[in-house]
Structure 1
Amino acid sequence: MKLHKVPEWFHDAKLGIFIHWGLFSVPAFAAEKLTLDESQKRGTNTHMKNNPYAEWYLNSLRIEGSPTQHFHNESYGDDFSYDRFAEIFNEEIKKWNPADMVDLIKKAGAKYVVLVTKHHDGFLLWPSKYPNPKKDNYIASRDIVGELTEVVKQQGLKMGLYYSGALDWSWNPNPIIDNESWRVNGPSEIEYTEYANNHWYELIDEYDPIILWNDIGYPPNTNVYEIFAYFYNKHPDGLINDRWIQYHKSDFDHPPVRHRDFATPEYRMMEDITDLKWESTRGIGYSFGYNKMETEKDYLRPDELIRMFIDIVSKNGNLLLNLGPTADGTIPELQKKAILGLGKWLEINGESIYGTRPWNRAEGKTLDDMDLRFTQKGETIYIHLFDKPKNKEIIIESLEVHIETKIQLLGHDKYLYWTQLGENLQVIFPESFKESPVYVFKLVPKTKV
């Protein structure tokens, strides 16, 4: 496993779509509209009581006096249990068409998908041979995992699966309210460890994912390297994320979990190029699960999403961007707007993203302080300009090119005029050009510096 390298397809792909869909999609509620870091800075107690993640609805509901508890009692009554959302959800998913969902994902320009198979509430989105022993019929009425996987692969995309290993609130009715309850909330019974292991092996065998995306951590009393080896033997070009830390000490003699193919910063990005492959994961708004309380101002605009994505790619990252469907599998219009805007930009400028690698620096500036990002592919360098030039020209700081270099603005056929001004590079825009959230210059061959 130490010799396992991140496969080239993952370096090339750049964009994946995460899907958080489950019982929490029925109430679709979270009171707060803050990023994860902003919420956590207020302290664990306040964060948990006012969690901005709609998929944490059940935990928030169990916290006395929380906004979610107030919303739930007002909307459904205090005698309406979370489990009763299963009947509503299973009725709603009859309307779902997986082909429509995958068509949208392709239009966004994504190359792989990661589907939540079981989130922290414990509800299963596939007909497992290992049903939940704590709750009867706690399972989707359709094989969502199987149906989506089939269409994703038919459309030439890669399929990954998410599983909440460390948390399962169907096994523990006590909410996470502070640091201490965080530490002990995950079920540690041997029975749960076997349950989680059986699920991972079943998901690997039945659906043949190429990414194992575990969350929070993993229960004790097992050697997760056995799961890793089983998976890699089936998929040498597969990947395993970094969230497998076993959260309780136990008497079982197993090695500490240090293996990972890539890091998964959440609602965060890197400041510079990293050697370790990473995948930034986030929603388009402040939640992964659909939160109907969010409005347009809470979502990334297409131009914001495009710039964020380019920044990630320039620093050796991928973006796993989440879609939170409504209960019936519909992607809300505000989420569509963002990803279709990204997809439209990629139709013209995708060659500066897909298959590229970081250059010797990620960021740059023009003399008039406009931001730049760099990527490279073979003998080609791409320069992404994050603003519109004021005088149809830009001067890029500290960039020297070969005398035979040709420069092109993607989306335009003609080569551009350029001049080397000492160590800076002046590039003249064409007489007419289409507006774009980010302009991309293609330089062949690569620069001197």
Structure 2
Amino acid sequence: MPYQPTLTSLRSHPLPKWFDDAKLGIFIHWGLFSVPAWAPTGVSIKELFQKMASGKTTLFESPYAEWYLNNLKQPGSQTQARHARIYGSEFPYEAFAPMFNAAIQTWEADSWADLFQEAGARYVVLTSKHHDGFTLWQPRVVNPKRPGYHAERDLVGELTSAVKKRGMRMGLYYSGGLDWTFNPAPVLELADLFATIPQDDAYVAYCLNHWNELIERYEPAILWNDIGMPYRVKTRELFARYYNRYPEGVVNDRFSLGLGPLTGLLKVKWIKRWFSNLIIRQLSKEVMMSANFGGHYDFITPEYSSLKAIFPRKWEATRGLGNSFGYNQAETEEDYLSVTDLIRLFVDIVSKNGNLLLNVGPQADGSLPAAQAARLRSLGRWLAVNGEGIFESRPWARAEGVCQSGREQLSLRFTQKDGRLYCFIFGKPGDSTLFLPGVRAQEGSRIRLLGSEGRLAWQQEDAGLRATLEAKVLQEALNESANCLEISPAPII
């Protein structure tokens, strides 16, 4: 039965198994902002929000390099001062377009797709249009405010083809809420994210036509919208058409952000301040607030955050390897997640029913910074050994536990698949004996360490399970970041 443009019908859309199985996606923020490639460093987005809550700063100091144009609008901002010094105070942001189009001529989609596959990713999401309004494809519906404001190559189409050719799914990001060519008003505080969404007829038609075109031309597996949409866009009709065309597709939770027809109330200063503080409080609860506005979605998208417990509904944590999504040349190794932190973050997310949409920020010519590429490859090598306990897995009865190894206590994360339990030990045990409190194996169970041969000797005690690693495994086979025990069949809960 075809989907209808009603919440009842749309909510009958089941979460596709492929998305639940996938666990790892690669996000790509690429555009004009990749030319200046700069934002203030030394503060994360969470820390910025905390400072904003106390009135100590504004969004003009955002660590997100893709927000370069917004940061540029603030007199006295670090971005404006640097821009004037390097490009001149009269150099407009849109003048980066010919520089970007010249740089992309040497880009090869296949090299990206090969790397993402090597990292173990099962899907990819590309920014087809970010808040600056520049598109990475040549749309049939041109920008009436700035004709020709697009990439000279069909970057969306080329990457889509390369990704699908390797058996991965392709999703598309689109900034439906913000487009600074239609409304150039600066975003100073969080309420401005919604107060500055263009609501005129031209933009309503423009962004809806873009989404319809992206679906028709590229058949994305994921519709990844950002900062809401004009409230008069009939998103339910869009979703029904999409599901009927592509039943295996999914939509994120950022189509229904904002106050809808009440957006005009944000012109009142105290309401605007109250709403900004409400957003900060909601973000501190770790679940994106769009779930509270009655719109339809298949998964939620906490940003630079994770959840503390197993969440019954599918979620996707999204973040960059550093503190920015777009490439920020000011970031150093110290700003990036270490390989160990990346692996443990990923395992933690999966154990709690989440996927990780891990962002890379290419340079203008499409080359990936060496530090980012190295981390993707390291993650891929770890998954080549331990991916059995990650992909196609589901949460167990609990996500977290501990492992006692000699005098050392290491954190545990659990997943399950096909009647087997996977116990991820964070760190490298220093003792051959591993004790897992509260884990009760069934009689005749087999225990093995992924990546090594043979089984572990074990015995069940009243307080938990005790297993023993062979000396050779202890010396040669263990990983510094995380190691995984498989218990088959899964212990009795």
Given the alignment of the two structures, is residue 398 of structure 1 paired with residue 460 of structure 2, yes or no?
no
Given the alignment of the two structures, is residue 422 of structure 1 paired with residue 462 of structure 2, yes or no?
yes
2:410 aligns with 370
Contact 2:23 2:356 in 1 (8 A): yes
1:208 aligns with 219
1:174 aligns with 185
Partner letter of residue 218 of structure 2? Y
SS of 1:41's partner is: helix
Distance 1:386 1:39 in 2: 30
Question: May I ask how many residue pairs the two structures share in their alignment?
Answer: 445
Distance 2:108 2:397 in 1: 44
1:331 aligns with 368
Partner letter of residue 129 of structure 1? R
Out of 334, 342, 347, which is 2:384 matched to? Answer: 347
Residue 388 of structure 1, CA deviation? 1.5
Distance 1:157 1:220 in 2: 33
SS of 1:443's partner is: strand
Alignment of 1:65-80 (within 5 A): 65-80=76-91
Distance 2:199 2:294 in 1: 17
Given the alignment of the two structures, is residue 220 of structure 1 paired with residue 237 of structure 2, yes or no?
no
Moved more, 299-308 or 367-376: 367-376
Alignment of 1:219-238 (within 5 A): 219-238=230-249
Q: Could you list the per-position Cα deviations for residues 147-180 of structure 1 after superposition, in whole angstroms to 9, with x for gaps in the alignment?
A: 0001111111000000000000111222111355
Contact 1:219 1:248 in 2 (8 A): no
Distance 2:424 2:261 in 1: 51
Distance 2:309 2:193 in 1: 31
Contact 2:193 2:227 in 1 (8 A): no
Distance 1:374 1:167 in 2: 39
Change (3 A) 1:217 1:331: same
2:342 aligns with 305
Distance 1:180 1:355 in 2: 39
| Percent pairwise identity | 46
Residue 63 of structure 1, CA deviation? 1.1
Moved more, 42-51 or 384-393: 42-51
1:95 aligns with 106
1:43 aligns with 52
1:244 aligns with 255
SS of 2:100's partner is: helix
Q: Could you list the per-position Cα deviations for residues 216-247 of structure 1 after superposition, in whole angstroms to 9, with x for gaps in the alignment?
A: 11112221100000100011111000001153
Out of 191, 195, 198, which is 1:187 matched to? Answer: 198
Alignment of 1:52-67 (within 5 A): 52-67=63-78
1:445 aligns with 489
TM score, norm. by length of structure 1: 0.97
Contact 2:394 2:417 in 1 (8 A): yes
SS of 2:471's partner is: coil
Contact 1:219 1:246 in 2 (8 A): no
Contact 1:130 1:198 in 2 (8 A): yes
Given the alignment of the two structures, is residue 24 of structure 1 paired with residue 68 of structure 2, yes or no?
no
2:304 aligns with 267
Distance 1:313 1:246 in 2: 26
Distance 2:244 2:42 in 1: 43
Out of 295, 308, 316, which is 1:279 matched to? Answer: 316
Distance 2:67 2:144 in 1: 22
Partner letter of residue 397 of structure 2? N
SS of 2:117's partner is: helix
Partner letter of residue 39 of structure 1? L
SS of 1:370's partner is: strand
Partner letter of residue 217 of structure 1? G
Out of 319, 326, 336, which is 1:289 matched to? Answer: 326
Contact 1:114 1:160 in 2 (8 A): yes
Given the alignment of the two structures, is residue 149 of structure 1 paired with residue 157 of structure 2, yes or no?
no
Partner letter of residue 243 of structure 1? R
Out of 429, 435, 441, which is 2:478 matched to? Answer: 435
Residue 448 of structure 1, CA deviation? 1.4
Q: Could you list the per-position Cα deviations for residues 171-211 of structure 1 after superposition, in whole angstroms to 9, with x for gaps in the alignment?
A: 12221113553342111101101000000000000000011
Q: Could you list the per-position Cα deviations for residues 258-311 of structure 1 after superposition, in whole angstroms to 9, with x for gaps in the alignment?
A: 211000000000100011100000000000000000000110111110000000
Distance 2:354 2:42 in 1: 26
2:451 aligns with 411
Distance 1:280 1:238 in 2: 18
Out of 141, 157, 160, which is 1:130 matched to? Answer: 141
Change (3 A) 1:315 1:140: same
Distance 1:180 1:275 in 2: 29
Gaps of 5+ in 2: 1-9, 263-292
Contact 2:227 2:257 in 1 (8 A): no
Change (3 A) 1:179 1:345: closer
Distance 1:423 1:31 in 2: 51
1:8 aligns with 17
SS of 1:366's partner is: strand
Residue 369 of structure 1, CA deviation? 2.4
Distance 1:373 1:235 in 2: 35
Distance 1:397 1:216 in 2: 44
Contact 1:306 1:342 in 2 (8 A): yes
Distance 2:49 2:41 in 1: 12
TM score, norm. by length of structure 2: 0.88
Distance 1:385 1:38 in 2: 30
Moved more, 42-51 or 18-27: 42-51
Distance 1:212 1:163 in 2: 8
SS of 2:230's partner is: coil
Contact 2:107 2:365 in 1 (8 A): yes
Partner letter of residue 139 of structure 1? H
Contact 2:141 2:209 in 1 (8 A): yes
Moved more, 383-392 or 175-184: 175-184
Contact 2:419 2:490 in 1 (8 A): yes
Change (3 A) 1:27 1:259: same
Q: Could you list the per-position Cα deviations for residues 36-57 of structure 1 after superposition, in whole angstroms to 9, with x for gaps in the alignment?
A: 2111111167241211000000
SS of 1:42's partner is: helix
Contact 1:165 1:196 in 2 (8 A): yes
Contact 2:414 2:422 in 1 (8 A): yes
